[in-house]
Amino acid sequence: MTALSEHAVPENPGWLHRCEAWLDSKGKGAWIAAMVLGFIFFWPIGLAFLAYMIWSKRMFSKSCSHRKSWQSHMSAMKPSGNSAFDAYKSDTLARLEREQQEFESFLRRLREAKDKAEFDQFMDERARDNQNEAESGNPA
């Protein structure tokens, strides 16, 4: 392979590599089933599966697929080397941040207006109840 990757696949993968890829495609359940079957038929095989699953971090991950770390998602912040694209990207990000701030401001105004309307309704009902009590002659 010409590209470097975390887990490079050889040109002619052996049967172990093919088995590993097959189990990975089926998910963590297939690994666990293989481990249990290994313990049932010949306990050292099950122990080997367990050791490999712990060593390769397949046991504690959410899936068996090779995931990129969170640092690889930060590549959006790195400059690309193309000044025109970098300028476009920074302008777009600035515009999106402005739009997000405007939207949050809009939502805050909506909440304030709703709160004021509910408070005004409460005060009107309270004033109406007090007026009804005063008219009926039963002070609270």
Burial class (CB in 10 A: 0-12, 13-18, 19+), 139: exposed
pLDDT at 15: 77
> Using one digit for the tens of pLDDT, what is the confidence trace for 15-55?
777 878 887 787 778 878 888 888 898 888 888 878 888 88
Whether residue 91 contacts residue 50, with contact meaning beta carbons closer than 8 Å, is answered with no
> Which amino acid, 90?
S
pLDDT-based confidence at residue 6 (cuts at 50, 70, 90):
very low
Please spell the DSSP secondary structure of 87-118, one letter per residue.
Answer: HHHHHHHHHHHHHHHHHHHHHHHHHHHHHHHH
Q: How far apart are the first and last CA of the chain?
A: 87
Please spell the DSSP secondary structure of 15-73, one letter per residue.
Answer: HHHHHHHHHHHH-HHHHHHHHHHHHHH-HHHHHHHHHHHHHTT-SSSSSSS-PPPGGGG
Whether residue 84 contacts residue 76, with contact meaning beta carbons closer than 8 Å, is answered with no
**Prediction pTM value:** 0.39
Residue 112 has pLDDT above 50, yes or no: yes
